[in-house]
């Protein structure tokens, strides 16, 4: 059985490195300090979303149908994946500084509703709420 490589330390929550690689065919072993790929660092919920997004060729309407989630949830999850991969969401500082309080309230409400419907995990909701708070 294959397990996903943990990328965060269960004790201190810092990044973990891969230190040993073993060939599945011969006895070769390589030791060192290796980083995992960006996609390997995504939580399971985000990997499921990325797979659906690719399967649907980026068509948001198809992703909505595939996962049974709303358009705002698809956009939110996409932004979350983009941020987790380290690319930012493409929103410049100007848009971050000019926050519409009503829009922010609606966004937080969407997050809570998605959590209530089981579309996102509590961990993802917490991450999204923290991200919103940093923008305020």
pLDDT tens per residue, range 22-54: 999 999 999 988 877 888 878 888 999 999 999
Angstrom distance (rounded) from CA 52 to CA 47 = 9
pTM of the model: 0.53
Query: What's the pLDDT tens digit per position in 75-126?
Result: 989 999 998 888 875 655 444 445 556 667 777 888 888 888 888 888 888 8
Q: Please report whether residue 73 resides in a domain.
A: yes
Q: Please report whether residue 104 resides in a domain.
A: yes
- Count the domains in the chain: 1
Q: Please report whether residue 116 resides in a domain.
A: yes
The DSSP code for 90 is S
Q: Please report whether residue 19 resides in a domain.
A: no
Q: Please report whether residue 10 resides in a domain.
A: no
Q: Please report whether residue 59 resides in a domain.
A: yes
Contact assessment for residue 107 and residue 26, using Cβ atoms and an 8 Å cutoff: no
Q: Please report whether residue 29 resides in a domain.
A: no
Q: Please report whether residue 35 resides in a domain.
A: no
Contact assessment for residue 76 and residue 128, using Cβ atoms and an 8 Å cutoff: yes
Structural domain containing residue 80: 44-135
Angstrom distance (rounded) from CA 90 to CA 18 = 31
The DSSP code for 40 is G
């Amino acid at each position: 059985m294959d397990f996903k490589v943990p990328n965060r330390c269960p004790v201190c929550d810092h990044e973990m490195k891969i230190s040993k690689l073993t060939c599945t065919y011969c006895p070769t072993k390589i030791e060192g300090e290796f980083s995992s790929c960006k996609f390997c660092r995504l939580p399971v919920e985000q990997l499921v979303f990325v797979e659906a997004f690719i399967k649907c060729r980026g068509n948001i309407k198809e992703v909505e149908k595939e996962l049974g989630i709303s358009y705002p949830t698809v956009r939110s999850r996409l932004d979350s994946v983009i941020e987790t991969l380290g690319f930012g969401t493409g929103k410049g500082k100007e848009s971050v500084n000019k926050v519409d309080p009503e829009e922010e309230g609606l966004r937080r409400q969407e997050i809570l509703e998605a959590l209530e419907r089981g579309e996102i995990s509590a961990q993802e909701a917490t991450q999204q709420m923290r991200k919103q708070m940093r923008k305020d």
